[in-house]
Amino acid sequence: MFLPCPVEILMHTGPSPQPPTETAEHKPSWWSPRFWLGCNFPALMRLYARNGFRIDWRHWHIAFADAFYSIFHSILRVVQSAIYGRRVARVEIKEQPLFILGHWRCGTTLLHELLILDPRHTFPTTWECLSPNHFLLTEWLALRTLGWLLPKQRPMDNMLLGWDRPQEDEFALCNLGIPSPYLTIAFPNNPPQFPEYLEMEQVPGPARERWKATLLTFLKQITFRNPRRIILKSPPHTARIKILLEMFPDARFVYLVRNPYKVYPSTIHLWKSLYTTHGLQTPRYEGLEEYVFETFNRMFQQYEATRELIPPGRLYELKYEDLVADPVGQLKTIYERLQLGDFAPVQPAAEAYLAEQKEYKTNRYAQPEAEKAEIRRRWHEYFVRYGYATGSESVPEGTAGANRFSAAPTPGK
């Protein structure tokens, strides 16, 4: 997802502009692609039909464009399979992925940006996640000719966009026709889509196997393109440790937490921005606050229930506040704890990247005391578990938390 963070990735060769603040809103041009533009035809028709084709008249041009292009995606999918299918099926993912876990707005994108500075790592790009049906055929052309389709900045935080920038693999699954809670973004006024696909525990066996097979094929395609360790960042994976370990028993995990007083308003802002930008309805935001409260708790509780399944030496936990206070030090510790190799070659690139982004500032939200009280009440367990203050005071961003929970001995550390 296009989440606020400092962003300049290794492939960008031009000078890095001064990062703006997160406050400005930018609506994309009417021709700018939405997340669903990469769906194949059957996947898109299922999405429309499931929601009763309740598309706002203001968005019909988007819906028609998506439907038109979905036909070509389906054709190209067949062509790609004919050309690359057998070779991709033989691909072995030798170095199993590293999954960055954590709720939205907890710094997962920042860590993703830092980890992909390492040339020994690779990642799914925006083009690959929005065109997963045929990116092996088309990525080389898209990177050279279709940059004008994207807005220059992300809608919620002014950060730069590009087809070659890292993206969440969850969007690839959506465009390949796999159910996902992210499909709620398309129809924000309808009930939340596929909530059972957050934890995957209640998903029937055949559907679980289809989910696993689709994700595995997508990752094999990325490996076919670039046979290095894949760094993945999709917040829903926070609640999917069990199924991810079924697929990748030797995977690495990094889990981030952040001050709940910061997470809540930022997440509300995120969903509002995405509903407005990528939805096929004019959003009313009904029930959004409850959705954020409940989803946060589901992810937190599922992570706590399954974290001990991760083998020793394969999990590192840290606070966002610690990450921004000492990003190089935390990155070095991640390399040491998860045995990712020598950090020394990566350190100069990390330091240079951070120097370019030093002016970046996060959003500040005015919070009434009633909202803070509700956050404390609904997320009390999270406050206690991770050592955050529960009074009106809060841990300043950029200051290491006093009770860094990652210092305590835990399984997988």
184-216: pLDDT as tens digits: 999 999 999 999 999 999 999 999 999 999 999
Q: Which residue has the higher pLDDT, 251 or 413?
A: 251
Residue in 149, 219, 166, 171 with CA at minimum distance from that of residue 43: 171
The residues, any chain, with a CB within 8 Å of residue 180's CB and separated by 6 or more, are 170, 173, 174, 193, 194, 197, 236
Q: Which two tokens stand for residue 151?
A: 């807005």
Please state which of the ranges 93-107, 144-158, 273-287 shows the lowest mean pLDDT.
Answer: 144-158
24, 45, 205, 375 from 177: Cα distances, Å: 33, 10, 17, 35
The residues, any chain, with a CB within 8 Å of residue 223's CB and separated by 6 or more, are 91, 93, 122, 230
Helices 41-50 + 60-89 axis angle, to 10: 130
The DSSP code sequence of 51-65 is: TTT---GGGHHHHHH
- Supply the mean pLDDT for the chain: 85
Residue in 182, 223, 158, 184 with CA at minimum distance from that of residue 5: 158
d(CA 47, CA 26): 26
3-state secondary structure of 17: coil
pLDDT value of position 146: 62
pLDDT above 50: residue 411: no
Q: What is the pTM of this model?
A: 0.86
Residue in 81, 390, 407, 97 with CA at minimum distance from that of residue 230: 97
Q: What is the mean pLDDT of residues 256-270?
A: 96
**Per-domain boundaries in the chain:** 35-407
pLDDT value of position 149: 54
Q: What is the mean pLDDT of residues 328-355?
A: 96
Spell 97-111 as b/e; 16+ CB within 10 A means b: bbbbbbbbbbbbbbb
Q: Which two tokens stand for residue 372?
A: 């803070």
Q: What share of the chain is helix, strand, coil (3-state, %, to 5)?
A: 50, 5, 45
d(CA 41, CA 59): 18
Q: Which residue has the higher pLDDT, 2 or 292?
A: 292
8-24: pLDDT as tens digits: 222 332 323 333 333 33
Q: Which two tokens stand for residue 112?
A: 């993703």
Q: Per CATH, the architecture of 35-407 is what?
A: 3-Layer(aba) Sandwich (3.40)
d(CA 51, CA 57): 15
Q: What is the mean pLDDT of residues 104-110?
A: 94
pLDDT value of position 368: 87
378-409: pLDDT as tens digits: 999 999 999 997 764 454 555 443 333 443 33
